[in-house]
Amino acid sequence: MSWDLIFWIICFAIDLGLLASTFYQLVILTDLEADYINPFESSSRINSLVYPEFIVHGVLCALFLLTWHWFLFLITLPMSAYFVMLFLKRKHLVDVTEVFRLLNAEKRLRKLKLAFYLGLLVIIIFRTFTAGKISLQRSEFGELDLRSSFLVF
């Protein structure tokens, strides 16, 4: 089993986690808009996810850099920079007092993030495939087709 494949699977898991977190936040905001949840609750839930998300994203970005995946590193870099900027401007947390005024902007931001992570996911899946294929080809079973490479994992 190649390290490469393991790496891509880890990336896949991280990205999936980020995707889920973003989606969850989006759902909370939608609920808030529809008055299914009160602002105190929703902002505390969202805010509890903000730091983990930043950290995980940072880790992902660093992973790409360390493993010399230039392309993906450059793709994730702007988002990391954006997070750092938000943090420095102290706008990273949802402001419970103004949450309704910022609702649309927050939602749009999260939709963009969602799209970004989805795109990233596609790339990662693709790379996972490739890595899986390569590792399989290298293995003794050599001639197995792609489907069987999945069966292995």
Partner 1 sequence: MGTENPGRPNFAARPVAAPYAVTPTMTPFSSGPVVGTNQPGPRPTPPIIPQSTTPFSSPRPAVGTDASGFRPTPPVAPQSTMSSLSSGPLVSEASGFRPPPPVRFNDPSVPPPPTSNAPPSVGPFSRFPTPPLPSTTQAFPSRAPPIGQPPFQPPVSQGLSPPVPFRPQQQIPPVPMGSPPQHVNYASSNVNAQLPSDPSFPAARPNLQPFLPGYARKQSSADPQVQPLQSPYLANQGGNFPAPPMASSPFVGHQGGYVQSPSVAAPLGLQSMQHPGAAPPTGAIQGLVEDFNSLSIGSIPGSIETGVDFKTLPRPLDGDVEPKSYTEMYPMNCNPRYLRLTTSAIPSSQSLVSRWHLPLGAVVCPLAEAPDGEEVPVINFASTGIIRCRRCRTYVNPYVTFTDAGRKWRCNICSLLNDVPGDYFAHLDATGRRIDLDQRPELTQGSVEFVAPTEYMVRPPMPPLYFFLIDVSISAVRSGMIEVVAKTIKSCLDDLPGFPRTQIGFATFDSTIHFYNMKSSLTQPQMMVVSDLDDVFVPLPDDLLVNLSESRSVVDAFLDSLPTMFQDNINIESAFGPALKASLMLMSQLGGKLLIFQNTLPSLGVGRLKLRGDDLRVYGTDKEHALRLPEDPFYKQMAAEFTKFQIGVNIYAFSDKYTDIASLGTLAKYSGGQVYHYPNFQSATHGEKLRHELARDLTRETAWEAVMRVRCGKGVRFTSYHGNFMLRSTDLLALPAVDCDKAFAMQMSLEETLLTTQTVYFQVALLYTASCGERRIRVHTAAAPVVQDLGEMYRQADTGAVVTLLTRLAIEKTLSHKLEDARNALQLRIIKALKEYRNLYSVQHRLGGRMIYPESLKFLPLYALALYKSTPLRGGYADAALDERCAAGYTMMTLPVKKLLKLLYPCLIRLDEHLLKSPAHDGPKSVEIRLPLAAESLDPRGLYIYDDGFRFILWFGRVLAPDIAMNLLGPECAAELSKVSLTERDNEMSRKLMKILKKMRESDPSYYQLCHLVRQGEQPREGILLLSNLVEDHMGGTNGYVDWILQLHRQVQQNP
φ, ψ at 143 (rounded to 5°): -85, 5
Within 112-151, the residues that bind partner 1 by CB under 8 A are: none
Q: Fill in the amino acid letter for 36.
A: Y
CB-nearer residue toward partner 1: 101 or 138: 101
Whether 121 contacts 15, CB under 8 Å:
yes
- Choose, by CB under 8 A, the member of 68, 88, 97, 151 that binds partner 1: 97
Whole-number minimum distance, CB 105 to partner 1, in Å?
A: 13
The Cα 128–Cα 139 span in angstroms is: 16
Within 16-55, the residues that bind partner 1 by CB under 8 A are: 31-33, 35-41
The Cα 40–Cα 35 span in angstroms is: 12
CB-nearer residue toward partner 1: 89 or 147: 89
The Cα 87–Cα 98 span in angstroms is: 18
Half-sphere exposure of residue 138: CA atoms within 13 angstroms, side-chain side: 11
CB-nearer residue toward partner 1: 4 or 95: 95
CB-nearer residue toward partner 1: 29 or 79: 29
The Cα 34–Cα 21 span in angstroms is: 20
Q: Per CB under 8 A, which region of 18-26, 67-75, 76-84, 88-96 contacts partner 1? A: 88-96
The residues that touch partner 1, with contacts defined as CB under 8 A, are 31-33, 35-41, 90, 93, 95-97, 99-101, 103
